[in-house]
Amino acid sequence: SQQGEEDPQALSIQEGENATMNCSYKTSINNLQWYRQNSGRGLVHLILIRSNEREKHSGRLRVTLDTSKKSSSLLITASRAADTASYFCATDADGNNRLAFGKGNQVVVIP
Amino acid sequence: DTGVSQNPRHKITKRGQNVTFRCDPISEHNRLYWYRQTLGQGPEFLTYFQNEAQLEKSRLLSDRFSAERPKGSFSTLEIQRTEQGDSAMYLCAGAGDTDTQYFGPGTRLTVL
């Protein structure tokens, strides 16, 4: 069964705007990861945040993790048309890296 | 480019036929994972290997599915007696000493 669930499911924004996606999960985790997938392609790893971390940055990406609420958010700042993709959160519950993915968040950035 | 390759990229087969997919991770990937992704869904874990040992199999992996990683390098996933419900994207990922998984481009299977 799917562990992560992203909200909202679909997001359409203008280029230059920020995009925020949320992910909730049910069980305790070792780490949470965000991936991007362009249409029909493989997944690209974006960022990993461990259960003892609260916030992480990578370029225009900012991820937060709230283990008390079992939720995470991904913020993409100053979005570009090339950011158009599906974004998935995935949780690793026990450190063996068997990832449980959410259903994904489709983001469309309009030039 | 993650360095993980999968072949073939697309496979169309008739129901009841057997198919085999191959995944080639990079040499540093001592762990290798297989996932299945259907349209509009996130990937679902199927199985994973630590070197040549298959350590875990999902309940999604019925008896018709078998995976191998004979020398701890490339891996194959075979589906016997394919069914229409097997139509999906099959993704392979490699991982080394970190927790990051590097995904290949996937093999899209269509069962007619």
pLDDT score recorded for residue A97: 74
Reported in sequence order, the residue ranges of A1-111 that DSSP labels E, i.e. its strands, are 5-7, 10-14, 19-24, 31-37, 43-50, 55-58, 61-66, 71-76, 85-92, 99-101, 105-110
pLDDT score recorded for residue B69: 96
pLDDT over threshold 80, residue A95: no
CB contact under 8 A, A45 and B100: yes
In Å, the largest CA–CA distance within chain A is: 41
Q: How far apart are CA B17 and CA A28, in angstroms?
A: 41
- Chain B interface includes A97 (CB < 8 A): yes
Least CB-CB distance to B103: which of A2, A42, A97? A42
On the CB side of A16, how many CA atoms lie within 13 Å of its CA? 1
Residue A102 vs residues A70, B98, B105, B109: alpha-carbon distances, Å: 13, 22, 19, 22
Q: How far apart are CA A109 and CA A86, in angstroms?
A: 11
Q: What is the mean pLDDT of chain B?
A: 94
Q: Which residue has the higher pLDDT, B87 or A103?
A: B87
For B55-109, write each residue's pLDDT tens digit: 988 988 889 999 999 988 999 999 999 999 999 999 999 999 888 899 999 999 9
Assigned token pair, B48: 């994973």
Taking residues A38-58, report their average pLDDT.
92
DSSP β-ladder status, B44-50 and B31-37: antiparallel
Q: Which residue has the higher pLDDT, A32 or A3?
A: A32
pLDDT over threshold 80, residue A47: yes
CB contact under 8 A, B33 and A98: yes
- Chain B interface includes A33 (CB < 8 A): yes
Dihedral (C-alpha) B109, B110, B111, B112: value to the nearest 10 degrees?
Answer: -160
- Chain A interface includes B94 (CB < 8 A): no
pLDDT over threshold 60, residue A1: no
pLDDT over threshold 60, residue B38: yes
Angle at B9 between CA B7 and CA B14, to 5 degrees: 100
Q: How far is B104 from chain A (nearest CA, A)?
A: 6
Q: How far is B94 from chain A (nearest CA, A)?
A: 11
Least CB-CB distance to B102: which of A40, A45, A90? A45
Q: How far is A107 from chain B (nearest CA, A)?
A: 13
Closest residue in B to A10 (Cα–Cα): B40
Residue with tokens 């029909």, as numbered in its chain: A40
Least CB-CB distance to B56: which of A88, A98, A104? A98
Q: How far apart are CA B36 and CA B87, in angstroms?
A: 9
Q: Which residue has the higher pLDDT, A97 or A68?
A: A68
pLDDT score recorded for residue A16: 96
pLDDT score recorded for residue A98: 87
CB contact under 8 A, B42 and A48: no
Q: What is the mean pLDDT of chain A?
A: 89
pLDDT score recorded for residue A2: 38
Q: pLDDT exceeding 90 applies to what percent of chain A? A: 73
pLDDT score recorded for residue A10: 87
Q: How far is B106 from chain A (nearest CA, A)?
A: 6
pLDDT over threshold 60, residue A3: no
- Give first-to-last CA distance, chain B, whole Å: 31
B44 φ/ψ angles, rounded to the nearest 5 degrees: -120, 135
pLDDT score recorded for residue B61: 85
